[in-house]
Structure 1
Amino acid sequence: MSYDLAVLAMDGPVDAESARRMLDRCDSAERHVEGDLDERVVAFYEGLRACFPDHPPYGPDSPWMSMPLAVGIDHVIICMSYSDRSAPALEKIMELSARYGLVVYDPQFDDVVLSGADG
């Protein structure tokens, strides 16, 4: 069993509806904007994969259910195992998102976690 999280580089007012719209846009190649990588997303992804690789070699205790993680200019979409092995990765996701001022969106519960200086 698995669940998804989206880590989003959002500016301005953030709520579940705006996070959902951004995730929908990120999931659609036709509607997703191109541009320069958001440095916050790059730093988040590098920090996360340093602890929990999404490219080989990775062990059987990997928290990821889909690899590599889905990374775009302004997001990282993560499919995680719904098990104890994901707990350390979830802690790292929350730590890094707070450090870099990113938004964590849980589409299963339509829940937003604001992090960093604005959250």
Structure 2
Amino acid sequence: MDHVGVSFDLVVLAAGTEASLDDVRAMADQRAGRSSPGVAPTPPIAAFYGDLLATFPDLPGDDESPWISRPLAVGVDHVSMSIAHTPLGDDAVDLVLRLAEKHGLVVFDPQGDEATGLHGSYADPVD
């Protein structure tokens, strides 16, 4: 699958549902694209990441992957991903949103400057 480098980013954060959009934006700015090797992720982030990989592994060289950069950037309180603009990428976004809700995490979309999951609302993003 040829992604031609067209992608968008999402950052899933253990920000707490009471965080503000400004809090989430600042957190995402500090963490996006950064891994924390040797540091264990919080239980919700670890569970989210495990569930995500069960459907869409982040192995380098996998041509049938929605991820532009692999492995995904995982830290103690976040998972940062660059997703291909493809039908498979759309499926990955749907899964990210479902899993974030399941694990009580916030999803930040830096392109749209909006967050989903703030105040426990996963129906409509906050911008």
The TM-score, its normalising length taken from structure 2, stands at 0.79
Deviation of 1:90 (Å): 1.0
Q: How far off is 1:12 after superposition?
A: 5.5
Matched residue pairs, number?
114
- Report if the CA contact (8 A) 1:10-1:102 is conserved: yes
1:54 matched to 2:58? The reply is yes
1:50-89 matched pairs, under 5 angstroms: 50-56=54-60, 58=62, 60-89=63-92
Q: How does 1:4-23 map to 2 (within 5 A)?
A: 4-11=9-16, 13-23=18-28
RMSD in angstroms over aligned alpha carbons? Answer: 2.4
In 1, distance between residues paired with 2:61 and 2:94? 22
Q: Unaligned stretches of 5+ in structure 2? A: 1-5, 122-127
Contact 2:9 2:83 in 1 (8 A): yes
Shift of 1:84: 1.6
Of 86-95 and 41-50, deviating more is 86-95
In structure 2, relative to structure 1, the CA distance for the partners of 1:81 and 1:12 (3 Å cut) is closer
Determine if contact 2:33/2:80 at 8 Å carries over to the other structure. Answer: no
Give the Å deviation of 1:27. 4.2
Q: What SS is found at the alignment partner of 2:46?
A: helix
- Percent same amino acid among aligned pairs? 35
Corresponding letter in the other structure for 1:20: R
Question: Within 2, Cα distance between the matches of 1:80 and 1:18?
Answer: 23
Separation (CA, whole Å) in 2 of partners of 1:40 and 1:52: 18
Which deviations, in whole Å up to 9, do the C-alpha atoms of 1:69-110 show, x marking residues without a partner?
000000000100012221111111111100000000000010
Match of 2:113 in 1: 110
Specify the code of the residue in structure 1 equivalent to 2:86: S
- 2:17–2:104 CA contact under 8 A, matched in 1: no
- TM-score (norm. length: structure 1): 0.84
